[in-house]
Chain A
Amino acid sequence: MKLQVKNLYKIFGANPEKGLEAARQGMSREEIMSRYKLALGIHDVTFEVNESEILVVMGLSGSGKSTLVRCINRLIEPTAGSVMIDEVDVTRLNGRELRTLRLKKMGMVFQSFALFPHRSVLKNVEYGLEIRGVAPKIRAEQAQKAIDLVGLSGWEEYPPESLSGGMRQRVGLARALATDPDILLMDEAFSALDPLIKREMQDELLALQSRVGKTIIFITHDLDEALKLGDRIIIMKDGRVVQIGTPEEILTAPADDYVEQFVQNVDITKVLTVAKVMRKAISVTYPKDGPKTVIHKMKEEGLSRVMVVDTDRKLLGLVDVEDVLTAFKRGDKTLTQILDREVATAQPDDNVACLFPEKKYPVAVVNTENKLLGIVKRGSLLAAMADHGGKDGDR
């Protein structure tokens, strides 16, 4: 476990102790505001982030998500609770220790990019290293690596203001990566970008993450973005955590009405995985089972098609009821003649959206070793989508 936030509170205003006491006893945000003139920013937040995980914190504006991320590197001083990074409590560090931590372990990317307008792209990316006191030559090299990583080679000497929004945020990302931090804090990093660029940046972040494997805390108000990027998602409301879970858990089992409202607007096909709609596969084994066995099985299960696997359960193909009958009449002993090897396949982690173009059902679900795990029938796919509130009209 890389980072652990425990019972974190942030109360804005003078003398927050009273508000803290009240919040701990369960007083609501509004009551604390009206009685003590204190704003409850973070209300008893606890969560953990694993190494190399992307944790998305999602909520509407005012839900406390930006405050939360700033409490982690103490740009905002938490009122109570602890933030443990590699077993060190960040809230107890003194000024110098905190600076060292920010210098070595954390990088931050901002919604407004926050690039230094008086420095070139290269000098912006070098900033963290310069602060750390790295020799000019080495820091230029390291900064160059980060610039290459985000695909900005050739732009080193340009001023940030001559770059487009997407490119500016790449500079922001490179600046955060240049110091090779363990943890990346991304505060609405892509929210200011237009939708196309945003999608592109999301893809690139995922590609980048597969190479660098940082622990990322990503703040957003966009559920689609959260579902796309997050290994896990935290949904916040009024400074509290409403739900923590994988994208699928959030979608399939919204903790309350608040989460459900978010989820209703999501295109379910984008996030529903094949594993979720997969059914148990009825299969026959080649070469052991002949046409007669297959007919018997089909009758029993009421199927018109059935998957054929070898003795290791590796997928070979499928057979259709009419072909089986023909083969039976011909007196074939095996399925060799009628085996249709061109079966549509999918992996359990695939998105169900990839199944739509398929003309041939059922689709076989196989693992990386081509072993049959299950099947997806057209009917069960549509049923699953209807269950999850997908908007049929869209498709």
Chain B
Amino acid sequence: MEIGKLPIGDGIEAFIDFTTTHFAFITRAMSTAIGTGLEAMVEAIMFIPIPVVILIFAAAAWLISSWRVGLGTLLGFALIWNLGLWEATMTTLALVLIATSLSTMVGIPLGIITALVSPIRRVVMPVLDFMQTMPAFVYLIPAIPFFGLGPVSAIFTTMVFAMPPAIRMTCLGIQQVPKELIEAADAFGSTASQKLFKVQIPLAAPTIMAGINQTIMLSLSMVVIAAMIGAGGLGGEVWRAIQRLWMGRGFEAGIAVVIIAMILDRTTQNIKFGKWRKE
């Protein structure tokens, strides 16, 4: 007996065709808006003298974290400048920044709702599993009809790939708030939103922050992969190096990615909440 191939692929294609023909005008408009914003951001940074930008970044890293991270930032960015990867790095940083902020803006509220409403949790969790295990490259394909070739498609695919940890960790953080504290908040007559903002979110903050840190790291890795659909930046450099077998150039761009990753990781790990968060 023979069973024909199930038309899963055809179905998805039809679905995406349908949504693009009917809704692409929205996504294209978003694309233009985000694209313009991104360009403006990169141009603004490029307008400032490079040493000044490096000093600002180093100072910020020092303030948020420690003098060591500040010094590392200074040396790291100096190296990137020296390698001639400054503009590419700034583009990548801007992409990561936008993708991360959009991911957290969507991910944290979704994570809170997921934690508080168990029927939603039963739907969201498997979807997150799907999003995280599906090979990241696959998202690149449908991104193009919606957002066109270029950085905005990259941001969209990055969001899909990088948002799950923000949702998951927010959900976990809220659920891990000790039951007695919830009871105490209830016993004093708190409304649901008072409970959320005065007890649950502050207590979940370190876990949520760990989720944001993960989101940033995943964004960075995805932004590089998204160079395949024209994201540009450091990923673009790597991609070009692959196509032309420029081994040295490829590694240089790779090192720049590692430097950014380390700076972002160390800095965001050290953001503190309240007076008594453990160092």
Which residues of A does B touch, CB under 8 Å? 73, 75, 98-104, 106-108, 110, 112, 114-118, 120, 127-128, 130-132, 159, 161, 175, 179, 185
Which residues of B does A touch, CB under 8 Å? 178, 180-181, 183-191, 194, 198-199, 202-203, 273-276
* Contact B189 A128, beta carbon cutoff 8 Å: yes
* Contact B276 A159, beta carbon cutoff 8 Å: yes
* Contact A116 B189, beta carbon cutoff 8 Å: no
A110-B180, A130-B198, A161-B276 given; A118·B187 CB < 8 A: no
- Which chain A positions have C-beta within 8 A of B273? 118
Q: Which residue of B lies closest to A112 (CB)?
A: B180
* Contact B188 A128, beta carbon cutoff 8 Å: yes
* Contact B202 A118, beta carbon cutoff 8 Å: yes
Can you name 29 A-B residue pairings with CB atoms under 8 Å? A75-B187, A98-B189, A99-B190, A99-B191, A100-B189, A101-B189, A102-B189, A104-B189, A107-B187, A108-B187, A110-B183, A112-B180, A114-B178, A114-B181, A114-B183, A116-B181, A116-B203, A117-B203, A118-B203, A118-B273, A118-B276, A127-B185, A128-B188, A128-B189, A130-B198, A131-B189, A131-B194, A161-B276, A185-B187
List the 6 closest A-B pairs by CB distance, nearest first. Answer: A103-B189, A102-B189, A114-B184, A114-B180, A108-B187, A99-B189
Q: How many residue pairs at the A-B interface have CB separations less than 8 Å?
A: 65
- Which chain B positions have C-beta within 8 A of A108? 184, 187-188
- Which chain B positions have C-beta within 8 A of A115? 184
Q: Separation in Å of the A37 CB from the closest CB of chain B? A: 21
Contact of A75 (CB < 8 Å), options: B178, B183, B191, B194: B183
* Contact A179 B188, beta carbon cutoff 8 Å: yes
Instruction: Tell me the bound Cα distance from A98 to B275 in angstroms.
Output: 34
Q: Separation in Å of the A191 CB from the closest CB of chain B? A: 14
Contact of B199 (CB < 8 Å), options: A103, A104, A116: A116
Q: Which residue of A lies closest to B201 (CB)?
A: A118
- Which chain B positions have C-beta within 8 A of A100? 189
Instruction: Tell me the bound Cα distance from A161 to B276 in angstroms.
Output: 10
- Which chain A positions have C-beta within 8 A of B188? 102-103, 107-108, 127-128, 131, 175, 179
Instruction: Tell me the bound Cα distance from A98 to B192 in angstroms.
Output: 13
- Which chain B positions have C-beta within 8 A of A103? 188-189
Q: Separation in Å of the A237 CB from the closest CB of chain B? A: 25
Instruction: Tell me the bound Cα distance from A104 to B274 in angstroms.
Output: 29
* Contact B187 A73, beta carbon cutoff 8 Å: yes
Instruction: Tell me the bound Cα distance from A339 to B190 in angstroms.
Output: 69
Q: Separation in Å of the A165 CB from the closest CB of chain B? A: 15
Instruction: Tell me the bound Cα distance from A101 to B189 in angstroms.
Output: 8
* Contact B190 A131, beta carbon cutoff 8 Å: yes
Q: Separation in Å of the A66 CB from the closest CB of chain B? A: 11
Q: Which residue of A lies closest to B274 (CB)?
A: A118
Q: Separation in Å of the B182 CB from the closest CB of chain A? A: 9
Instruction: Tell me the bound Cα distance from A159 to B274 in angstroms.
Output: 11
- Which chain B positions have C-beta within 8 A of A112? 178, 180
Q: Separation in Å of the A367 CB from the closest CB of chain B? A: 43
Q: Separation in Å of the B267 CB from the closest CB of chain A? A: 22
A112-B180, A118-B202 given; A102·B191 CB < 8 A: no
Q: Which residue of A lies closest to B202 (CB)?
A: A118
Q: Which residue of B lies closest to A98 (CB)?
A: B189
Instruction: Tell me the bound Cα distance from A117 to B203 in angstroms.
Output: 8
Instruction: Tell me the bound Cα distance from A116 to B177 in angstroms.
Output: 10
Instruction: Tell me the bound Cα distance from A103 to B185 in angstroms.
Output: 10
Contact of B187 (CB < 8 Å), options: A106, A116, A117, A130: A106
Instruction: Tell me the bound Cα distance from A107 to B188 in angstroms.
Output: 7
- Which chain B positions have C-beta within 8 A of A104? 189
* Contact A102 B198, beta carbon cutoff 8 Å: no
Given A99-B191, A115-B184; 11 other pairs, CB 8 A cutoff: A75-B187, A99-B189, A108-B188, A110-B180, A116-B184, A116-B199, A120-B275, A128-B189, A131-B188, A159-B276, A175-B188
